[in-house]
Copies of this chain bind each other. A is one copy, B any other.
C-alpha cells in the first residue's frame, strides 16, 4: 500500500489496523517552537470517542491514550519529526469465522482481497474507521501550528438522516450533541436515530467544515488548488461520497449573475465561492461540505458471496454505530487543518507574507 502520507510540506504518515497492536503516525515538516504536549492531542482524540455527541455512537469504548515518541522538547516542537502512538487496548479476541471468508456488503473486504490477494480478516484492518485515530492526532498538531497564525478550524453537522440544521452557532457546535450548530434540531435527530436503531438500520448525513481568519493567497493554482486538495482530503475519509465548496451543487443550477460574489470596498459581499477563487483563498471563510453515507454494518441479513464465490447471507452484528456522525466530525476537522497547514507552509516558501 502506498498512500499513507498526506501533505507536501506538513506531512502526516500513518500506520495501524483495527485489530493490530495499535495505530500511530509521524508528522514531518512542523516548524520548530510550536507549543505541544500529549494533552493537546488527547483532547481531540477524546472528541472522536464513542459516546461523545449523542446516542448514535457505538458501545465499543477505547481509551485511545496517545503517546508522543519524538519531536518535542521542553514543551515545544524542535522541528524534528513528531512520532505518536495509540495502543489498541480493546480487541476482545472473538470468533472471526463468520467474516473470515465472506465479503461484507459496503465494506472493503472484496477490494482488499482483489488487490493484495488476502487480508487481515479480524476486522476492517486498514480500512476500518479506527484508522482515523491517526488523522485526528495529526490534525491536532496542525491546529496548534494554525493557532499561531490565528486560524481556526470547525466541523459541525448540518444534516442527519435528511433532517437539516440551521447554522446559527458553529463555534458552539463542538460542545453540543452531534456537534450541532443548531440547538433546536438536536431532539429531532435524537428521536430519528432511536427510530432507525429500532429498525436495525443506519443513517447518513452532511458535515460542514470551515476555516476562519486565514490569509488571502493560500493555495497553488491548477492541480494544487486549495479546493482540489480539500476535496481530496475530505473524500479520503472512508464514509464520504461527495464534497462541495461554497454554494457547491447549487451553483450548477444558478446563473452567473446570481453565483458571482460582488466586491465592495470592505471586501466580498457574498461567499458563494466558499472562500476560494482560482484555487487560492480570498481571505473569506473557507467553507466545504462532506456527504456521509450510512454505515454499512447493519443488523439485517444481506446477500453476498464467500471468498470462493459461493452465494450466502451475512448479518454483521456487534458493536456498531448508527451513523458515522458525530465521530467523523473531528476527523473531517483534522483533514481541513492538515490541508491548511500544508498550504500555509507551501505559501511561505514564496517569501511573500513572511
Contacts and interface: CB of A to CB of B under 8 A. Distances in A.
24 contacts: A2-B224, A3-B28, A3-B221, A3-B279, A14-B222, A15-B71, A16-B69, A31-B351, A78-B116, A79-B115, A80-B221, A110-B277, A111-B216, A112-B221, A112-B278, A115-B219, A117-B352, A196-B255, A228-B233, A236-B279, A242-B249, A244-B291, A248-B291, A345-B349
A342 B261 CA distance: 36
Interface string A110-127: 111011111110000111
A256 B201 CA distance: 6
B249 A32 contact: no
A286 to B, nearest CB: 12
A5 B1 contact: no
A127 B265 contact: no
Contacts of A9: 2, 346, 349
Nearest to A103: B263
Contacts of A110: 216, 263, 277, 282
Contacts of A111: 216-217, 219, 276-282
A202 B254 CA distance: 9
Contacts of A4: 26, 28, 80-81, 221-224
Interface string A304-329: 11000111000000000000000000
Given A115-B352, A252-B242, A354-B348, A11 B2 contact: yes
Interface in A192-250: 196, 201-206, 215-217, 219-225, 227-236, 238, 241-249
A161 interface: yes
A171 interface: no
Given A112-B278, A114-B217, A277-B106, A1 B252 contact: no
A15 B26 contact: yes
Given A31-B349, A256-B298, 13 more contacts: A2-B9, A80-B126, A103-B263, A232-B235, A236-B279, A241-B244, A241-B248, A242-B243, A243-B244, A248-B291, A263-B305, A264-B305, A265-B310
Contact of A28 (B5, B76, B261): B5
A160 to B, nearest CB: 9
